[in-house]
Amino acid sequence: MKEMLLCPRLAKAMELIGKRWTALIIYQLMDGSKRFNEIESSLPISGRLLSERLKELEKEGIVDRNVFSEVPVRVEYNLTDKGHALKDVVGGIESWSKEWL
């Protein structure tokens, strides 16, 4: 049987987006900036795991973390251009799931 080589970029993308809750976090941010507690309350996810995923997405350049010097400090998350480029991907999965699941 012939062994197929995986495309390393596809493998990296699937590893990133395929992590539990990552695509749903991106989906939540597609409508615009959100505070941590807004994202947390919209998903059945622990704060620790949400924080971990947001840090990973920020490191990959998909999410921006904006800190506002207010009292109390306000932090908002939003998608970068790279993150918005995933809109068709996440939307396509959403469409497929509506039809087939």
Paired tokens of 83: 């993150």
Return the CATH number of the domain spanning residue range 13-100.
1.10.10.10
Could you give the C-alpha distances from 70 to 40, 67, 75, in angstroms and in order? 21, 9, 10
Alpha carbons 26 and 28: distance in angstroms, whole number: 5
Give the count of beta carbons closer than 10 Å to the beta carbon of residue 74: 12
Confidence of residue 4 (pLDDT cuts 50, 70, 90): low
* pLDDT for 59 beyond 90: yes
Give the pLDDT band of residue 82 (cuts 50, 70, 90).
very high
Average pLDDT score over residue span 64-93: 95
Please tell me which residue, 6 or 3, carries the higher pLDDT value.
6
Please give the pLDDT value at position 86: 96
In the predicted structure, residue 79 carries a pLDDT above the cut 70: yes
Q: Looking at residues 29-36, what average pLDDT do you find?
A: 96
The model's pTM is 0.87
